[in-house]
Amino acid sequence: MKLKVTLVVLLFAIWSVISGWYYVCIIKQSGQDFSSLVGAKVSPIHFKINGSAPVVGHNFDSLKNNLLRRLGENNVLLITGICDSSEVGTTSYRNLGLARALATKYLFRDVNDNRIVLASNIGILPIQDGLLDAVTFSILIRNEYIEETSTGVILRFNDEDLEEDLPTKLDAYLTYLSIEKRRNTIEIMGLKEAYTIKKLLIHRGVDSTNLKVLEMGDLKSLEDENKDSSAMFSNRVEIRIN
């Protein structure tokens, strides 16, 4: 009996590693964070202090081609502009980070607007030769089950998806969350299905104290924004990662 239990535990551990690898290497490879490329010795894009106009480096084309290749047919490009708390912006936008994101978006004008999401952050930026590395890029995954946002993810599925074997993409994404975001505070919003998603994350090793279910009795306004993509599914859960 003890040997049987040990074997089950071992098989589960192997399954978790394989699922996580599948998502990170096969699915999530499109969502690579390119901040390390921006922070290289010679930045593809940088900004003058207090400025919002991007200064393009010689290796920008390489960065752009890499991003477009990973963007694929369905994913979305997230451009995050960053400003230092000491900078004084002279633009009409709410902060200098957003102005930088908007200016950087112009460099990707060959990508449809609906496939670019903008965000901004305020942080401490290193100065190199009077210039700042003040923009980062990520690819947000979009498929029939998963819609990543700048703050989390929307999951869509049917009742039978949770009653039987989980679809591979959904299963792998939950495993990814349990590995990469297990120390974050994860808010799960939805109806009864939110509790099921919580149980699935706990089953994958996420501490229950890091999970919070927020019941949302009326998701109609959210559904209206995504009628086409959600029509084939009966359930929708929104997850916010803090």
* CATH code for position 162: 3.30.1330.60
Q: Is the dihedral of CA 83, 88, 94, 98 positive or negative?
A: negative
Q: How confident is the model at residue 226 (pLDDT cuts 50, 70, 90)?
A: very low
Q: Is residue 11 part of a domain?
A: no
Q: Is residue 217 part of a domain?
A: yes
Reported as a single tens digit per residue, the pLDDT across 54-72 is 999 989 999 999 999 999 9
| Pair 154, 221 in one domain | yes
CA distance linking residue 54 with residue 64, whole number of Å: 14
232 belongs to a structural domain: yes
CA distances 67 to 24, 98, 117, 136, 219, Å, are 17, 20, 14, 11, 33
d(CA 122, CA 147): 25
Query: 125, 126, 135: which is closest to 99 by C-alpha?
Result: 135
Cβ atoms within 10 Å, residue 61: 11
Q: Domain residues for 90? A: 32-140
Q: For residue 50, is it within any domain?
A: yes
211 and 150 within one domain: yes
Q: Can you give the pTM of this predicted structure?
A: 0.74
Q: In which band, very low, low, confident or very high, does the pLDDT at 217 lie, cut at 50, 70 and 90?
A: low
Backbone angles phi, psi at 238, to 5 degrees: -110, 130
Tell me how far the alpha carbon of residue 138 is from its chain's centroid.
Answer: 7
The pLDDT of residue 177 is 94
Please provide the average confidence, as pLDDT, over all residues in the chain.
81
Segment 72-121, tens digit of pLDDT: 999 999 999 999 888 886 667 778 999 999 999 999 999 999 999 999 99
Name the residue with tokens 């209206």: 224
Using the 3D structure, point to which of 92, 115, 140 is the last residue of a domain.
140
- Residue that finishes a domain, picked among 140, 170, 198: 140
What distance in Å separates the CA atoms of residue 140 and residue 125, rounded to the nearest whole number?
A: 24
Measured CA to CA, the distance from residue 219 to residue 209 in angstroms comes to 25
What count of residues does the chain have?
A: 242
Residue 198 lies in a domain: yes
Q: Count up the domains in the chain and report the number.
A: 2
* Residue 15, domain member (yes or no): no
In the 8-state DSSP scheme, what is residue 142? B
Q: Is the dihedral of CA 229, 235, 241, 242 positive or negative?
A: positive
Last residue of a domain, which of 122, 140, 158? 140
